[in-house]
Amino acid sequence: MALITLFLLSVVVFVMAQLLPGDVGRNVLGPFASQDQVDRLNDTLGVNRPLVVQYWDWISHFLRGDLGTSLQYQVPVSDLLGPALANSLKLAAVAFVLVVPLSILGGTIAGLKRGGITDRVITVGGLSLTAVPEFVTAIVLILIFGVTLGWLPVTATAPEGASIPTQLEYLLLPSFALVAVLFGYIARITRSSVMESVDADYTRTAYLKGLSQRQVVGRHVLRNSLLPTIAVVATQVGYLIGGLLVIEKLFNYNGIGQRIYTAAVNKDFLLLESGVMIVGVIYLVATFIADVLYSVFNPRIRVQGSE
């Protein structure tokens, strides 16, 4: 199933990339090169061959771990994507570590205090933040914390050789922008599954055993309501990476999103295609991990039927 998804993704990305306007040779050589030179370069790069051949050439190398050479930079694509991926994962990890506990806590509180002021603030607030595009949130955050208050740096890249706390400081503002987008969504899912567990008969059983509210929530409600949340959180990994594209551009951060963006502008096929494929693989791995976690936590899937 996952393999079919990846195959389809590779085809779609490849075709889309080919549809981009512009000429590779012209992009590399610049406006002053002669048409003859451009044609010769295109021949050397092989971008004039039939699409099927080009696709096979790319995908067969990709599967063997050879991501090819960037048309633009004339260096191996892996050398460009590797560090960029590491940077992106760093940013994503910071955002994730912030958003998961925050949104689950927010959602749980909202679910337990259904209909109250706290619930409304969390639900409406979260939803509004989700509805605002990340570039708007990011700009507002930059203006407030970076420019007006001057508390946090406005770029995401720390100076060369900076210590880990300093690096984190640089990553904080772009993470906030990502948190703002994801919080509302995860919190809402948590809230609705908490409410479902609160209304469930087993919660009534627990209360009528004489347990306190803290015990009921801790032992009975959360255990069941976090299950669906886990699945949702993992699918958000993909969304997070999509959001990175915009955020990295805004904060001028050297991540995979930035790379993919530049590659698309320059018609750097191999860089673009391989970059998207890697994002696809990460997304599928995250979903797979979500499924595994879900079945680990859910006895109905883990332990088959009655004897």
Instruction: Determine if 204 is a binding residue for another protein (CB under 8 A).
Output: yes
Q: What's the closest the beta carbon of residue 110 comes to another protein, in angstroms? A: 16
d(CA 231, CA 293): 8
With beta carbons less than 8 A apart as the criterion, state whether 191 and 115 touch: no
Q: What's the closest the beta carbon of residue 181 comes to another protein, in angstroms? A: 31
175 or 203, CB closer to another protein? 203
CA 176 → CA 30, 112, 122, 138, distances in Å? 39, 26, 16, 8
Instruction: Determine if 220 is a binding residue for another protein (CB under 8 A).
Output: yes
- # residues near another protein by CB under 8 A: 26
50 or 299, CB closer to another protein? 299
Q: What's the closest the beta carbon of residue 304 comes to another protein, in angstroms? A: 8
**Given candidates 207, 239, 261, 294, which one binds another protein under the rule CB under 8 A?**
207
**Given candidates 59, 127, 200, 284, which one binds another protein under the rule CB under 8 A?**
200
Q: Which residues within the stretch 141-170 sit at the binding site for another protein (CB under 8 A)?
A: none
Instruction: Determine if 202 is a binding residue for another protein (CB under 8 A).
Output: yes
d(CA 133, CA 97): 21
Q: Which residues within the stretch 288-307 sit at the binding site for another protein (CB under 8 A)?
A: 297-300, 303-307
140 or 209, CB closer to another protein? 209
Task: With H, G, I as helix, E, B as strand and everything else as coil, classify residue 159.
Answer: coil
With beta carbons less than 8 A apart as the criterion, state whether 221 and 129 touch: no
- By residue count, the chain amounts to 307
Cα 147 from chain centroid?
Answer: 27
Q: What's the closest the beta carbon of residue 190 comes to another protein, in angstroms? A: 16
Segment contacting another protein by CB under 8 A, of 122-130, 196-204, 241-249, 274-282: 196-204
For residue 76, report the phi and psi dihedrals to the nearest 5 degrees.
Answer: -55, 140
3-state helix/strand/coil string of 44-91: HHCCCCCHHHHHHHHHHHHHCCCCCECCCCCCEHHHHHHHHHHHHHHH
Q: Which residues within the stretch 11-70 sit at the binding site for another protein (CB under 8 A)?
A: none
The structure tokens listed for 5 are 């998804």
For residue 69, report the phi and psi dihedrals to the nearest 5 degrees.
Answer: -115, 140
**Given candidates 182, 206, 241, 250, which one binds another protein under the rule CB under 8 A?**
206
Segment contacting another protein by CB under 8 A, of 6-14, 125-133, 223-231, 254-262: 223-231
Task: Kindly state the helix (H) or strand (E) to which residue 255 belongs, with its residue range.
Answer: none
**Given candidates 158, 211, 284, 286, which one binds another protein under the rule CB under 8 A?**
211
Chain positions contacting another protein, by CB under 8 A = 200-202, 204-212, 219-220, 223-224, 227, 297-300, 303-307
